[in-house]
Amino acid sequence: MRPHPDEPQVFLLLSMWFMTLLVARLIETYSILALCSKGEQPFLAATNGAAIIAVLPKRMPMQLEDSALAQARRANRAISKLYNLVLSSCGLRATQYVLLQSIAAAGEISQHQLSEQLSVATATLSRRLSGLKKRRLVEMRTAARGSRIYTLTPAGCSLLTSTSLQWKSAQRRLRSTLGEADWQIFINVCDRVCEAAKQAESMRIAFARSIID
């Protein structure tokens, strides 16, 4: 069977089309990499059957002072560092001391109440309480409906009493450095922020339910 006289020409045209497409893709890839290396945000857009490379406007990063979460965590890390440093000689961390203090103040308290009072996630609180139980500083009993009730052991009460001076020392140093006026503002703002965050969470839950309904 003799080849069609136009077959070589068709093959040549297809080869040229393929090479043109390959070169276009290489140029496109090189252009994207070049833009990325300059910190730009390129994206491909189709227009009239062809692909063009456009550049997204640079998004200004959120400033640290505009982020409530970043500021709160930053302050939390700085304060925790101070308290942990002072309590290190007692073998306690600030989070553990706060738990012992909260349980002692209540006499006995459920894990749910502790979670609400300290605004700590249940899983995180379970890990912290488990560590205190292993050291026999707290004991747990199961109440009605499976509620876990915690109380301090004699060892927990003794450790809390012996470390209270170190805790008060850390607090006195922070309070003195901050100043009495700013200290009171700080305490009040923390209370207000906690309430505002809880209200914002309630709004989110209510909105989600309204969508489901």
pTM over the 0.75 mark: no
So what's the pLDDT on residue 61? 55
So what's the pLDDT on residue 49? 43
Written as six digits, the tokens of 203 are: 């709004």
Residues of the chain with CATH 1.10.10.10: 92-183
Count of C-beta atoms within a 10 Å radius of residue 40:
14
So what's the pLDDT on residue 204? 66
Task: Report the top-level CATH class of 92-183.
Answer: mainly alpha
In angstroms, rounded to a whole number, what is the distance separating the alpha carbons of residues 105 and 157?
11
Low-confidence ranges of the chain (pLDDT < 70): 1-66, 204-213
So what's the pLDDT on residue 46? 46
> Residue-wise over 123-136: b if at least 16 C-beta within 10 A, else e?
eebeebbeebeeee
Count of C-beta atoms within a 10 Å radius of residue 184:
12
Which helix or strand (DSSP H or E) is residue 151 part of? Answer: strand 148-152
Strand partners, 42: 55
